[in-house]
């Protein structure tokens, strides 16, 4: 099987690589440590959140930035899923 090389600047990409349009700058921090995310994962995470946010009735316009903080509880607790904290 012959590999076709396509040149993009200094880096050569094989035919197996895909070029994607980057719309978001996405970061993920776990325990204050920034995880390395490739462009595909950055776009996937951002698009998942944008899709989720579109379902919320309170959101009137498309967000320019999104911040989510998730903190593990020391002990699980039972809550009513349909109420707000």
pLDDT 10s digits, 1-51: 444 444 444 455 566 777 888 999 999 999 999 999 999 999 999 999 999
Q: What is the pLDDT of residue 44?
A: 94
CA distance 76 to 71: 12
Do 42 and 26 meet the contact criterion of CB atoms below 8 Å apart? yes
pTM score, whole prediction: 0.67
CA nearest 38: which of 57, 56, 54, 22? 22
> Looking at the DSSP assignment, which residues form a beta bridge with residue 30?
33
Determine the average pLDDT of the residues in 72-80. 93
């Amino acid at each position: 099987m012959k590999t076709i090389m396509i040149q993009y600047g200094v880096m050569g990409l094989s035919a197996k690589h895909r070029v994607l349009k980057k719309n978001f700058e996405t970061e993920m921090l776990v325990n204050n440590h920034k995880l390395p995310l490739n462009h595909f994962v950055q776009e996937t995470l951002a698009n998942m959140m944008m899709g989720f946010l579109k379902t919320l009735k309170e959101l009137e316009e498309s967000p320019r930035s999104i911040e989510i903080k998730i903190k593990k509880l020391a002990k699980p607790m039972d809550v009513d899923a349909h109420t707000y904290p």
